[in-house]
Amino acid sequence: MLDKNRIFENFNSVSPLEEEIEIKKIGKTPKQNLNSFILWCLRYLDFVEFSKSMVANNEGLDYDTVLLSGEQFIVTKAFSYLEKVNGGKISHYAAIITQKSPYFVNSLDFAIRYYEKVEEYEKCAFIQKIKEIFENRKDNLDK
């Protein structure tokens, strides 16, 4: 869980050797974590369609409640991958600025909107920082 008082410590620099050891320990690369984040956000669209048919076939279910529950589950799962990405580490930074998915920014925006709605602003700040790194990548790649 993110500590709002230490949110920007997630962007501290780490030596490449420490970073390599950490990747081996975690088992997933930063690029894999970013891709998992995007895939989970995209699953929300599938869930919306699934919810419509599920509610239509079960009279006792409330569509809005099912949708909110699904949104909470999906965004929480997606964020569990994103929070493993640290923009202050070289390979993590590289994974962010070289992200090629056309859905990356939309996924970040989707997560920000959700966390704004539930007033978890420290997570919004974390996601926004990653979005800024990504959006400023052209300037950084030209250096």
Domain ranges of the chain: 14-142
Place of tokens 């079960």: 58
Q: What is the pLDDT of residue 93?
A: 92
pLDDT on residue 124: 97
Write out the H or E segment, with its range, that includes residue 74.
helix 63-82
- pLDDT of 27: 53
What per-residue confidence (pLDDT) applies to 5?
55
The confidence score (pLDDT) of residue 6 equals: 53
Q: Do residues 111 and 104 make contact, with C-beta atoms less than 8 angstroms apart?
A: no
Q: Which two tokens stand for residue 111?
A: 């997560």
Output the six-digit token pair for 110: 């989707």
pTM of whole model > 0.85?
Answer: no
User: pLDDT tens digits for the chain (143 residues)?
Assistant: 555 555 545 445 544 545 454 544 555 899 999 999 999 999 988 888 888 888 888 888 888 898 899 999 999 999 999 999 988 888 899 999 999 999 999 999 999 999 999 999 999 999 999 999 999 986 555 55
pLDDT at site 133: 93
